[in-house]
Chain A
Amino acid sequence: MEFNNNQMDTIAFPKAEDVVFEKLDPAYRKVSIYITAIFFVTALLVYLVIGIFIEKLFQFPLILIVLTGWAIVAALFIIVAIKSYDFEGFAVRDKDILYKSGIFFRSVLIIPFNRVQHCEIENGPIDRLFGLAELSLFTAGGSSSDLSIPGLTQDKAASLKNYITNRVAEDGEE
C-alpha cells in the first residue's frame, strides 16, 4: 500500500486558502453578550439577596470593592463574548467538519464524518428568541472529542444535521 503524501498538501487547512471558515450567525454575538450579562446580573442579585440577611455584605468598603470587581470582571467577559465571535467559525468538507475557536488559545478541531456516532440540535430559550440553534456531534468514548457549533440559524442547523447524518449513513453502507 503506497502512501500518497502529495494529496495531503492539497487538502486545505486553517491558513490554507482552500478552507474558508464560515462565520456563525451575527445574532450569535448578541446571544453570547446576553448570556454573559444575564449570568453577571444574576450573580449580583444573589449577592444582594444574601446581603439582606447578612448585613456585613453591605458595609462601606466591602460593597465598593465587590461592585468594582464585579464591574471589571463583567466588562472583561463581555468584551471576550463580543470578540470571540470573530474567532469562531466552522467549515464543512466532503468528509469532515472543522471548527475553530479561541481568542488567545486558538484551536481547530476536525472530526471525520465516518467517526461521528450521532448528532443533536439544541436550542435554549435565548437561542430560540433569536432563532438560533446549536449543533453537537458526538464520537465514541469520552466526551472530550465532541464538537458543538453554536450560533447556527435553525434552518441551517437542521440542514447541516441532515447532511451529516446522510454522510454518516453513507459511510456505514460502503
Chain B
Amino acid sequence: MEKSNYDFSVPNRQSYVAIIMILFKTINVVARQLFPVLVVILVGGSKQKGDYILWFVIAVSALTMIYSTINFFRTYFIVENDELILHTGIFSQKKISIPFSRIQTINFEQNIVHQFFSVSRIKVDTAGSEKNEFEFHALETVKAHALRDLVLSVKKEVEPSADATLNEETIIAPSYTKIMSLNPSDLLKVGLTENHFKSGGLIFLFFFWIYQNLQEVGVDVDEYSQEVPDWEWGIYSVLIIISLLLIISIVISLFRTLIKNYDLQFLRTARGFKIVSGLFTKREISALDHKIQHISWSDNLLKRLIGFKDLSLNQASGTELNTKQNIHIPGCSVHHIQSVVDTLFGTTDFESFVLQGIDRKYFERFALIISMILFIAGLLTYFIDQIDKMLPVLIVGIYFILTRYISYRKKSFGHNNELVFICGGIFGEKAEVLPMYKIQAVEIHQSPYQSKHQLCSLSLFTASGRIKIPYIKLSTGRTLSDTFIYKVESDKRMWM
C-alpha cells in the first residue's frame, strides 16, 4: 500500500509549494486591504506622499514575506502516540499537540496552483474551546491523504496500541460508497433553481461596494450621474431593466453554483461523510457521524418542482459560531436524505412522527403589531398630506403578515424516542432533525404577552447552534423540556 510509505514519526515539513502560497497570500491580503490607497496613488493625488505610502507598503509586505518564509522552515509536524504535534514559531518555539480523538475533521482544498503541483491545503479542525486549529498551506496530496487516513484509522480502534508501529494491518483504509453526485445537467438544475433574489442582492452589493470605493478615493459618482440625459421612465424601460436584472441574477447564480459545486460527490465513508466539489478550487470536506449535531434540509418553490432539496449537515463549531462548519449539499432527492438520516440516526419513518402545530397567537400577535404600525403610519402620512407614499409600505406590511401566516401554518414539531423533528418554511419546505441526546441546554422563555396567555417559546441549544420552537403552550413546553432533559441525562452516548 502506498500510504504506509510515509513515516510521520519523523518531523515532516510542508511542501515547498507552500512558500509560493504564503507569498501569494501575503500579496493578496495586502492588495485587498490597501485597495483604496493604491487607487488613490494610481489615480493621482500628491505624488510624494503616494511614494512614501508605496514604499511603506512594500516594506511591510517584504517583512511579512520574510517572516513567513522563515516560519515555513521552522514549522514541522510529527505524529507520536496518537497525537499530532506541530512545532512552529521563530523567536519562541511553540508546540501544539492535538490528540487524534480531539480532531474533528481534516479538510482539504486545492486551488489551481495546488492542483498544478499536486499539493493540498490541509486544515485540521478541533472542536472545543481551545484554539488548536491549524492549517498547512500546502502538503503533497498523497501525503495529506495518508495523514488523514492515519488519523481516522487510529480513531477506529477502541484501544490503540501505542507502541505498535502502524503498518498495513492496523491501517484500515477508509472505503467510500457514493451517496450521490451532481452530473452537469443536475448542476444546471441546481443553478437555475437557486434563490435568484440572493444573487440579485449580490449584484446590488457589488455596485454599492464600487460606489463606496469610488467615493472614498474622491470620485464623485453623483456628479457623473447628472450628466446622463434624463431618462423617460416608461413601462417598457422598467420591464427591460427588471428582465435584465433577472437574467444577470440567474447567470450569477449559475456561475456561483458551477464554481462551488462542480463535480460534487457526496460519499459515505466508514464512519462519516465526505464531500468533494469545486471547479477552480477543489474542496474536500469530511464530517464524522458523531460530530454531526443536527441535519436540516430545505427547498424553494422552484426546487420543489424538480424534487431537489439542499441538505445541510451541521457540525459542532469551535469557539465561534461560524457557518463554515455546516456542510451544504445541494440537489439531494428525498431518497438521498432518507438514506443519510437512516445511516446517521437509524431507520426513521418520518410519517410516524406525531406532529403538532404552534399556537395561533404566533400569527395573531404579529399581525396585530404590524397592523398597528401601518395604522399609525397611515395616520401620520394622512396628516402631513403624503398618504400616496403609503402604498409601498402597505404592500410590505401585508407581505410580512402573509408570510407570517404561511410560516405559522407550516411550522410543526414532534419527536419520537430518539429524534426531534421540526418542520417549517415559507415558500419552500424546511425540516430539521436533531437527536435528543445532542441537546446541550434547554431554555423556556416567555414574553409578557406569552405569560398572560400561558404560552412560551422553547430553545434547544446544540453545539451547532440553537433551534427554536416558538409559541407553544406552556404545559407543552415544560413536558418537552423535561423529556429532552431526561433523555440527555440518561443517554451515555458520546455526543461530540
Residues of the B chain whose Cβ atoms lie less than 8 Å from the Cβ of A7: 486
Q: Is the CB of B479 within 8 A of A145?
A: no
Query: B362 on the interface (CB 8 Å rule)?
Result: no
Minimum Cβ distance to chain B for residue A111 (Å): 4
Q: Is the CB of B445 within 8 A of A145?
A: no
Count of chain B residues with a beta carbon within 8 Å of a chain A beta carbon: 39
Residues in B whose Cβ lies below 8 Å from that of A142: 317, 320-321, 461, 463, 465-466
Write out the residue numbers on chain B whose beta carbons fall within 8 Å of the beta carbon of A109. 441-443
* Structural contact, B446 and A106, CB atoms closer than 8 A: yes
Interface size bracket, A side: 35 or more
Provide the main secondary structure of the chain A interface. mixed
The CA-CA distance from A106 to B440 in the complex, in Å, is: 20
Chain B stretch 130-147: residues in CB contact (< 8 A) with chain A: none
1/0 contact string of B473-496 vs chain A (CB within 8 Å) = 000001101110110110010011
Distance from A99 Cβ to chain B, minimum over Cβ atoms (Å): 9
Give the interface segment out of A43-51, A68-76, A133-141.
A133-141
Residues in chain A near residue B461, CB distance under 8 A? 139, 141-142, 144-145
Complex contacts, B489 vs chain A, CB 8 Å: 95-96, 112, 114
Complex: A115 Cα to B487 Cα, angstroms: 12
Query: In angstroms, how far is the closest chain A Cβ from the Cβ of B184?
Result: 38
Would you list which residues of chain A between 28 and 58 have a CB under 8 Å from chain B? none
For A141, the closest partner residue in chain B by CB is B463
Q: Is B440's CB under 8 angstroms from A111's CB?
A: yes
Closest partner residue, chain A, to B483 (CB atom): A8
Judged by a CB distance under 8 angstroms, whether A105 is at the interface is yes
Contact B466 A8 (CB under 8 A): no
Tell me if A147 counts as interface (CB < 8 A to partner B). Answer: yes
Whether A11 is near chain B, meaning CB under 8 Å from some CB there, is yes
List CB contacts (< 8 Å) of A118-144 with chain B: 118, 138-144
B448 at the interface (CB under 8 A from A): yes
Given the known inter-chain contacts A8-B482, A13-B482, please indicate yes or no for A174 contacting B446, CB distance below 8 A. no
- A95 to chain B: which residues have CB within 8 Å? 489
Given A117-B129, A144-B461: A11 touches B485 (CB 8 Å cut-off)? yes
- Does B292 touch A at the CB level, under 8 Å? no
For chain B, what secondary structure do more than half of its interface residues adopt (helix, strand, loop), or is it mixed? mixed
The answer to whether A174 and B492 touch (CB under 8 A), given A108-B443, A144-B461, is yes
Question: Min CB distance, A134 to chain B, in Å?
Answer: 18
The answer, yes or no, to whether A60 is at the interface (CB within 8 Å) is no
Partner of B441, one of A5, A105, A145: A145
Q: Is the CB of B445 within 8 A of A139?
A: no
Nearest B residue to A171, CB-CB: B492
Q: Is the CB of B128 within 8 A of A117?
A: yes
B441 near A110 with CB under 8 A, answer: yes
B444 within 8 A of A: yes
A68-89 contacts to B (CB < 8 Å): none
Say yes or no for A1: interface residue by CB 8 A criterion: yes
Contact B441 A1 (CB under 8 A): no
Which residues from B are CB-within-8-Å of A14? 444, 478
Contact A107 B316 (CB under 8 A): no
Q: B249 in the interface, Cβ–Cβ < 8 Å?
A: no
Chain B residue with minimal CB distance to A10?
B482
**Interchain CB contact under 8 A, A140 and B441:** no
Please tell me which one of the listed residues A1, A9, A174 contacts residue B417 in the complex, with CB atoms under 8 A apart.
A1
Are A140 and B127 touching (Cβ within 8 A)? yes
Give every chain A residue within 8 A of B483 (Cβ-Cβ): 5, 8
**Contacts of B444 on A, CB cut-off 8 Å?**
14, 107-108
**Contact between B496 and A8 (Cβ–Cβ < 8 Å)?**
no
Query: Would you call A140 and B443 a contact (CB within 8 A)?
Result: no
Task: Report whether A141 and B321 are in contact in the complex, using a CB–CB cutoff of 8 Å.
Answer: yes
Which chain B positions have C-beta within 8 A of A138?
Answer: 129
Task: Say whether B464 faces chain A, with CB atoms less than 8 Å apart.
Answer: yes
Q: Are B486 and A11 in contact (CB under 8 A)?
A: yes
Q: How far is the CA of A117 from the CA of B126 in the complex (A)?
A: 14
Q: 5 tightest A-B contacts by CB?
A: A145-B461, A141-B463, A107-B445, A142-B321, A115-B440
27 A-B pairs within 8 Å (CB atoms) are namely: A1-B417, A3-B417, A8-B479, A9-B482, A11-B486, A104-B448, A105-B446, A106-B446, A106-B451, A108-B445, A110-B442, A112-B485, A112-B489, A115-B488, A115-B495, A139-B441, A140-B127, A140-B129, A140-B316, A141-B462, A141-B463, A142-B321, A142-B461, A142-B465, A144-B321, A145-B441, A145-B443
Q: Beyond A8-B486, A11-B486, A141-B463, list 13 extra A-B contacts (CB 8 Å).
A: A14-B444, A96-B489, A104-B447, A110-B481, A110-B485, A139-B463, A141-B440, A142-B317, A142-B321, A142-B465, A142-B466, A145-B440, A145-B443
